[in-house]
Structure 1
Amino acid sequence: MSETPENDETTAAGRRPGAREQAGRSGLLGSFDPVAAAEKRQTRIREEIARNRRGEYKVPTWVLALALAGVVGIWLLVLFVL
């Protein structure tokens, strides 16, 4: 009736990190592993693209800062020039 833990992918064995990740976490490869860093970056980019395709995108901080600067600039222009 119910699935056994061996068949369930959500068990601890299914979530166990790969050899490279495990070695990087324990410090066997040093403080910076360029291969692991590249894999992590690729994973983050893939996840962000997937989120954007689902419509879960966010406005970048620099765009918000630029919009705020524009609003403040226009406000100052109206107050002191016009």
Structure 2
Amino acid sequence: MDSPDDQRKPGLVQRRRQKIADEIARNRRGEYRVPTWVLAVALGVFLAAWIGLIVFS
């Protein structure tokens, strides 16, 4: 018979660790994804260059 502790959902720390472990496993298999912050920085640089081109031309 399962105790109440066995039926509990994994905590935040366990879920986060599993998510990180899954991401590392995906990366080792070659399934790379570009992080959101990299896309946000690229968009910011593009917009700044575009606005700079408009303002300074």
Match of 2:49 in 1: 74
For residue 43 of structure 1, what is the aligned residue in structure 2? 18
Aligned residues: 52
Unaligned runs of 5+ in 2: none
- The answer to whether residue 8 in structure 2 is matched with residue 24 in structure 1 is yes
1:67 Cα deviation (Å)?
Answer: 0.5
Unmatched runs of 5 consecutive residues or more in structure 1: 1-18, 26-35
The TM-score normalised by the length of structure 2 is: 0.72
2:29 to 54, 62, 67: 54
Distance apart, 1:24 and its partner CA: 1.3
Point out 4+ residue stretches in structure 1 off by more than 4 angstroms.
none
Q: Percent same amino acid among aligned pairs?
A: 42
Query: What is the SS of the residue equivalent to 2:34?
Result: coil
CA RMSD of aligned residues (A): 1.7
Who wins on radius of gyration, i.e. which is larger? 1
Give the secondary-structure state (helix, strand or coil) at the position aligned to 2:31: coil
